[in-house]
Amino acid sequence: MADSDTKEGWSEDDSRHFIDYGAYFVPERETQVDTICSVIPSPQENALIVDICCGEGLLASALARRFSKCHILALDGSSAMLEAAGKRLDKTGASWTTSIMDIADSGWRQFDRPVHAFVSSLAVHHLDGPGKAGLFRDLATALAPGGVIVICDLVEARNQEGLTLWERHWDDGVRERATRLDGNEDMLHFFREDGWNYYSDPEADPVDMPSGLFEQLKWLEEAGLVDIDVHWLLAGHAIMSARKP
């Protein structure tokens, strides 16, 4: 989607909005980033860590700081996001590269060495179910033995009660951040009016295709991975991981 909108629907306007408002819209964002970093086993020097759909590079730069002897490859489909990620990574002093890709393509899923860790935050839901299962298979193939996949993403609710609960929890999370950052709830109103709460109307935007948590764990297992686990879940945002034996 270089310099243009994805055929699936994520646009450069969405990227700019997410850069501006992600601090409000992502519940417990700092905890999410810390959790993802914390479940990656200690890497060897020059190990490769890949952030899939890195956005503005918050997670990639946290990884670069924590694993400063590794190489961080930050991938995204948006040039606005990659530019922001590059500026952030530059300040870490770590070795890094960025590259543009479409998550739905498979051409980017080959690397110059076995990968120590794949991470992805709030993006795999841009693939449908078979697309996610295929991604997990390709990533499992590219992992080094002992390497991990760590994914944070929206997951599908199984019934109306679950949907309603996560809608409320997500609003609560945005309210908490808006109040803490600005002292008012204006950003919660914007979040609602601009349609960012997936659980209030799951059919609204075809770009969003979350799958159930259970089936994603099964796809990780079917990809040949082990130690499949869930480390954190809030407002439909789940962090799961799996290791290559």
Residue 13 beta carbon to ligand SAM: minimum distance, rounded to whole angstroms:
11
User: Where on the chain is the footprint of ligand SAM (CB under 6 A)?
Assistant: 1, 6, 8, 10, 15, 18, 22, 53-55, 58-59, 76-78, 81, 101-104, 121-123, 126
Gap between the Cα atoms of 186 and 195, Å rounded: 14
For ligand SAM, the closer of residues 59 and 115 by Cβ is 59
For ligand SAM, the closer of residues 181 and 226 by Cβ is 181
Residue 172 beta carbon to ligand SAM: minimum distance, rounded to whole angstroms:
19
Residue 161 beta carbon to ligand SAM: minimum distance, rounded to whole angstroms:
26
Residue 235 beta carbon to ligand SAM: minimum distance, rounded to whole angstroms:
14
For ligand SAM, the closer of residues 80 and 163 by Cβ is 80
For ligand SAM, the closer of residues 126 and 244 by Cβ is 126
